[in-house]
Structure 1
Amino acid sequence: MSEHAALIAPAAAEFAGILRGIGETELAARTPCAEYDVRALLNHLLYWGPWLEAAGRKAPPPEAATGEAEAGLIGSDWLDVAERQTARLVEVFGAPEAWQGMTALGTAQMPASVVGDMVLGEFVFHGWDLARALGRTVDVAPEAAEAVYASAAAMGEQARSMKVYGEEVNVAEGATTFERALGASGRNPGWTP
């Protein structure tokens, strides 16, 4: 899957553009992820980003003093922190070697390509989540849509059992690849705030 390395930078650029459009008053907006408002979803991204980066570098995970819900990572500088984290993930996962061999995400050993696809999914799916929460659209390249669909379809049952994805959403006949990817990841492509 190292060919997906080329998809990381464009997906991250679209994601970063969405982040820059989030104002203070929008942090409480609902998202398609039922358990997250915008603030909590940003906290989720900032919490797990260092874990993904460490896995891409095949380095030990960061030490976590608290769990995600208690982390409280959305301070006045959250956008700067998020942009730097995004840039580091692009640096790591934009390189084909990050996708090769095995790595660990926390204590779980897995193929590095699975973690790379998680990063791509974070940018694409959570970018869509944030954009929809704000009533905006997101531009997903056809190649990225294919990649996240393949990953969501392959990992769907396991992700649902781990409560990472919601129940699969049936999409309309003739749905786009990205709409099928959203459905496979437990998202309703027609969701509105």
Structure 2
Amino acid sequence: MTDHSALLRPAAAEFLRVARLPALTAPTPCAGYDVRGLLNHLLYWGPWLAAAGRREPYRHDVTEADSALVTDGWFTTLEKQTEALVDAFSAPGAWDGMATLGSATMPAAVVGDMVLGEFVLHGWDLARAAGVPLTCPDETAEAVRASAVAMGEQARAMGVYGPEVPVPADAPALERALGATGRDPRQLR
């Protein structure tokens, strides 16, 4: 597994740039989520991911469906959480060994790639909702694509990814990453 920690900070900055742009009620390409729902999802799972990166236990007392985290000050909370994720997965050794996410133990590099994927994929979802482009270097998009391909079958079985969307092999790296996760890169909204 590869340590992609150097890709996190720029991806996080671009994610935060687009996160504040769309109206909370705007639809997203992420199935089942409007912007408020997608932000709630991110705010719910971010502490789990950060704790996994720090090798600390974490649990919520409520489910994602029962949480309402997009309240006054949500963007400040998202900024702090994003910084905590970057810090956790930029620490020496964060991508080595095993980490626990909820009740599952997996390679820490898989969790780190999940964080990078959250920034890029959900960043794209939010950018589409706002009608703006997401800037993503090819190296970052390729790391997200490789992770999506490696986890694809399992992620589709769990309902995390939709069916793969065919994308030409010579398409930009971000479009190939999106297609691997079931997102149609041609979708404008």
**Same structural fold, with TM-score higher than 0.5 when normalized by the shorter chain:** yes
Deviation readout 1:71-129 (Å, 9 max, x if unpaired): 00000110000000001111111224111100111010100000000000000000000
Q: Please give the alpha-carbon distance, in whole angstroms, between the structure 2 residues aligned to 1:106 and 1:173.
A: 36
Name which of 86, 101, 110 aligns with 1:90.
86
Give yes or no for the alignment of 1:100 onto 2:96: yes
Matching residue of 1:43: 40
Q: Which amino acid aligns with 1:9?
A: R
Matched letter for residue 185 of structure 1:
T
1:2/1:96 contact within 8 Å kept: no
1:61, distance to aligned residue in structure 2 (A):
1.6
Q: Name the % identity.
A: 59
The question of 1:72 aligning with 2:58 is answered no
Find the aligned partners of 1:145 and 1:94 in 2 and give their Cα distance.
18
C-alpha distance in structure 1 between counterparts of 2:127 and 2:73, whole Å: 20
Unaligned runs of 5+ in 1: none
Structure-1 separation of matches of 2:90 and 2:120? 15
SS of 2:179 mapped into structure 1: helix
1:21 matched to 2:18? no
Paired positions, count: 189
Shift of 1:176: 1.2
Could you say what the CA RMSD is over the residues aligned between the two structures, in angstroms? 1.1
**Aligned-pair CA distance for 1:148:** 0.2
1:57 equivalent among 54, 67, 91: 54
For 1:1-193, what aligned pairs fall within 5 Å after superposition?
1-22=1-22, 26-62=23-59, 64-193=60-189
Q: TM-score, normalised by structure 2?
A: 0.96
- Structure 2 gaps of 5+ residues are none
Residue 34 of structure 1 deviates from its aligned partner by 1.8
SS at match of 2:4: helix
**Kept in 1: contact 2:142–2:173 (CA 8 A):** yes
Q: What is the CA deviation profile of residues 116-146 of structure 1, one whole-angstrom value per residue up to 9, with x for unaligned ones?
A: 0000000000000000011010000111011
- Matched residues in 1 for 2:26 and 2:39: separation? 12
Q: Larger helix proportion, structure 1 or 2?
A: 1
Comparing 183-192 and 171-180, the one that deviates more: 171-180
SS at the partner of 1:3? coil
Moved more, 1-10 or 67-76: 1-10
